[in-house]
Amino acid sequence: MCAIVTGPDGRSRCAWVGDDPVYRRYHDEEWGVPLHGDRALFEKMALEGFQAGLSWITILRKRPRFREVFEGFDPVRVAGFGEQDVERLMADAGIIRNRAKIDATISNAALVREMADGEFDDLMWSFAPTYPATRDPRPDSMAQVPAVTPESTALSTALRRRGFRFVGPTTMYALMQSAGMVDDHLAGCWRASAG
């Protein structure tokens, strides 16, 4: 498989994008772009948890509905969800209906809610690699991009100690990529040259 694909707009992108316009937009506007804020990072954590065992494109396509039923991923509101909310979510075909993941999202929201404003953001970003987030040299293929790093393992461990669930090292590395804590755009990708 080629490492780079050229889209209909003539831009070269990481090949995992394929020809899907939803993936193109996500790749171009979000993946590898630094993201801050307790709510925004809680949403990333929740969606990465729901993604476990599934494809990310499935989550992206369902993200608008996830945002709607999880009240914009406001940790205060989600932490207040009860059993009726869980049943409502389990009946909603517009999201991933997995009780363990729904329960984890609610309990993770309660943990974020207990933190001071900005503390969750600070915690998450404290595990960003100490080397420059932009790799030099850039990887030539996704085979050169790790699935787990010492930083994602340390982040996972720290979160689990606090009681967070669905935050394994692989899931946390995907979050680090998505939230721009690392930038794994491949050599030849227009985003790699965009800085």
14 is in an annotated binding site: yes
Beta partners for residue 13, in sequence order: 5
Q: Which of 48, 151, 173, 190 is catalytic?
A: 48
Most distant CA atoms of the chain, gap in Å: 51
Secondary structure E strands in the chain: 4-6, 12-14
Active site residue 23: no
CA pair distance 95, 62, nearest whole angstrom: 6
CA pair distance 186, 190, nearest whole angstrom: 9
2 is in an annotated binding site: no
Amino acid at residue number 100 = A
Q: Which of 16, 56, 71, 125 is catalytic?
A: 56
Active site residue 173: no
Q: Evaluate whether 58 touches 47 at the Cβ level (below 8 Å).
A: no
Q: Which of 26, 31, 173, 190 is catalytic?
A: 26
36 is in an annotated binding site: no
189 is in an annotated binding site: yes
Contacts of 69 (CB under 8 A, 6+ apart): 88, 89, 92, 94, 95
* Nearest in space to 120 (alpha carbons), one of 44, 58, 33, 50: 44
Q: Which residues are catalytic?
A: 26, 48, 56
Known binding-site residue numbers for Zn(2+): 14, 27, 185, 189
Known binding-site residue numbers: 14, 27, 185, 189
